[in-house]
Structure 1
Amino acid sequence: MKQTVPGISRRLLLCGASGAALAVHRAATAQGAWPQRPIRLVIPFAVGGGTDIVARMIGQTLSQQLGQPVVIDNRPGASTLIGTEIVARARPDGYTLLLAGSTSYSVNPALRAERAYRPSRDLTPIAIVARVPLVLVAGSGTPWRSLPELIDAAKARPGRIRYATFGNASGSHLTGELFALAAGIRLQDIEYRGSSQALVAVIGGEVDLGIDTVASVAPYVRSGRLRALGIVGAARSGLLPGVRTLAEQGLPDASFDAWYGFAAPPRTPAPVLAALTRAIVETVASPALQAQLRAQGIEPTMVGAAAFMAQIEKEIPRYRALAHRAGIVAAE
């Protein structure tokens, strides 16, 4: 469903007689020429992962739309809390933005009640711009060549088969436990600092399994360094068309919706948000960018602010309930 974020009209900005309206007008005047300098796009993952791939592709086209460089700033760690909190605390002037996925917007608020921010209070969600399926993969040195073989082995050795996560209570951790619950097995999660490190660990045999985006794992699956056992999502991927979804393999409850969205710090002026939203809409509509994203197994989309918040509000209670069932406790 395509949506855009409505901006504040010029008439509304100019007509208010109250002090609040005057303050908005002054902010609009001050920001009228935005952007005047490079924009920092914070990515709460290390270089090379799925989020980083999406950010660099979109950032290049966005910089052309805005007429200013979009500088990628990778800030991995603490299950994306480090990078996300940088943006939440940044000056609300439109020059520091966040591009992250559901780990930042839904999983952390669901699982980290004491420390986590609330997206509706501590961020300004702008738009969801891409969706991508996750893939359950095994290292080439493991004996399992199919999902049933893995499940049988896990039932025979409860808690002995290890899978890599991007951190305790991260999206990959939650997805792994979702799969385990649906399959009736127990797995051992091993924490790494981001997608790249986790994939290296699976490829190198430090752990048995990994869960990552199709964009990240497809080259290694094609080269034989990883085996794809199932798509963790509603549909197959064009990059790995022969890999069935977990639902097709008898696990309809093992589904995790992976997406990427832009957000700004709270209290970012409405005129800046409107200009930024227009630029993002034009960026995602670019045929060249869409082709580039789809070549990586990433589906471009445009979901505006209201539907973005509705997605977050739907996911948070689901993930909180799942964490309770799986016994996941986030370290504060």
Structure 2
Amino acid sequence: MRHTARDLLAAISAAAALAIATPALAQSYPDRPVKLIMPFGAGSASDSIARIVADGLGPRLGQRIIVENRPGAGGNTGTAAAAKAAPDGYTLVFAAPGPFVINRTLGGLPYDPEKDFEPISLVAKLVNVLVVNPSKIPVKTVPEFIAYVRSKPGQISYSSVGLGSSQHLAAAYFDIVAGTQMQHVPYPSGSQLAIDLVSGEVPVSFQLIPNVSSQLAAGQVRALAVTTKTRSKALPDVPTMAEQGVADYESYAWFGIAAPAGTPQAVIDRLNREIVATVADPAVQKRLIEIGVEPDSSTPAQFKAFIAAESVKWADIIAKAGIKLN
């Protein structure tokens, strides 16, 4: 096909306009409130994290960040809605392991987590802690726990808030690494789970720290180890799995912010700068640590690579553990 001088001139003009518009867009964005879709219910740990970050991010952007809860299907409903939103930086999504990593392995998704989103930055990690009912599980260390569970194969049960949840996968992964065999008891909500954990009905859980902080403070459950490579700021006296001889094991929930694919790079860059600054703010960090959360941030490229690595890691663990939806 032959290109005329007029075609060439039009192409050059369009490229020049884009080059001029990109910096202008970065300077003017945002000129109205930004919506952050939260794919889980109000009052959840992830919801609390999102609202703390939104409170800190809004003033930096000069606009309100409106957190909109759209729960359902393990986070898939809200995440799917975000995937279809206009890629203009005014609709973002709070990214989490379920809808971005785990659910793609457990079943089909109405979106592609890696193709339909532009990762912007991590914001936090939420540590799992191995807790036991001390009257039912008479151990104080992880080696003692492993020996105890191995002596009762298939007889010790652990709780979670559902199939494929952070708690479920942390325990299933532990079974693989430690050579133990525990029984999974999923709960529809955390309230009954906590009651049964304290009563000893289901005496073990790989819980997220905020979910058991009050029970730990009251001495109703005992923390044996956190599941990250370093100790948690929220539970500094609780050792890691690695410190107690369980190598090559790490499990935690993570959260970040992403935008629909096609969002202008200038907008992504602006959001990344402000999110990183927000997470580094001492006041924001204090609020996150108080609820048992580890502040974290990244570049867009680092977050994208992290999601890809997490997808490979958990697909392998889910396959080895034989976890299926039905």
Counterpart selection for 2:163 from 168, 171, 178: 168
- Unaligned 5+ runs, structure 1: 1-14
Give the CA deviation at 1:153: 4.2
Preserved CA contact (<8 Å) 1:108 1:170: no
Question: TM-score under structure 1 normalisation?
Answer: 0.81
Q: Which residue of 2 aligns with 1:234?
A: 229
Q: Which residue of 1 aligns with 2:130?
A: 136
Residues 43-88 of structure 1: per-residue CA shift (max 9 Å, x gap): 2333344322321211111122122222223334433223322222
Q: Which residue of 2 aligns with 1:329?
A: 324
Give the CA deviation at 1:98: 1.7
Pair 1:100–1:196, CA change in 2 (3 A): farther
Q: Which residue of 2 aligns with 1:209?
A: 204
1:319 aligns with 2:299: no
Residue aligned with 2:307, SS: helix
Preserved CA contact (<8 Å) 2:131 2:206: yes
Give the CA deviation at 1:113: 5.6
Give the CA deviation at 1:185: 1.6
Pair 1:16–1:235, CA change in 2 (3 A): farther
Preserved CA contact (<8 Å) 2:128 2:167: no
Question: 2-side partners of 1:112 and 1:19: how far apart?
Answer: 45
Question: 2-side partners of 1:124 and 1:60: how far apart?
Answer: 22
Q: Which residue of 2 aligns with 1:262?
A: 257
> Bigger shift: 138-147 or 308-317?
138-147
> Bigger shift: 179-188 or 87-96?
87-96
How many residues are treated as equivalent by the alignment? 316
Letter in 1 for 2:39: P
Give the CA deviation at 1:102: 2.9
Question: 2-side partners of 1:141 and 1:41: how far apart?
Answer: 43
Q: Which residue of 2 aligns with 1:34?
A: 29
Residues 184-217 of structure 1: per-residue CA shift (max 9 Å, x gap): 1222223344666654653465533322333443
Preserved CA contact (<8 Å) 1:141 1:205: yes
Give the CA deviation at 1:246: 1.6
1:65 aligns with 2:60: yes
Letter in 1 for 2:120: I
Residue aligned with 2:163, SS: coil
Residue aligned with 2:226, SS: strand
Residue aligned with 1:99, SS: strand
Q: Which residue of 2 aligns with 1:90?
A: 85
Counterpart selection for 1:189 from 159, 184, 192: 184
Pair 1:22–1:252, CA change in 2 (3 A): same
Residue aligned with 1:253, SS: coil
1:309 aligns with 2:304: yes
Q: Which residue of 2 aligns with 1:112?
A: 106
Counterparts of residues 260-299 of structure 1 (less than 5 Å): 260-299=255-294
- Unaligned 5+ runs, structure 2: 1-9
Letter in 1 for 2:217: R
Residue aligned with 2:236, SS: coil
> Bigger shift: 73-82 or 173-182?
73-82
Pair 1:241–1:283, CA change in 2 (3 A): closer
Pair 1:247–1:280, CA change in 2 (3 A): same
Question: 1-side partners of 2:110 and 2:174: how far apart?
Answer: 25
Q: Which residue of 2 aligns with 1:6?
A: none
Counterpart selection for 2:244 from 241, 249, 253: 249
Residue aligned with 2:206, SS: strand
Preserved CA contact (<8 Å) 2:276 2:298: no
Preserved CA contact (<8 Å) 1:165 1:192: yes
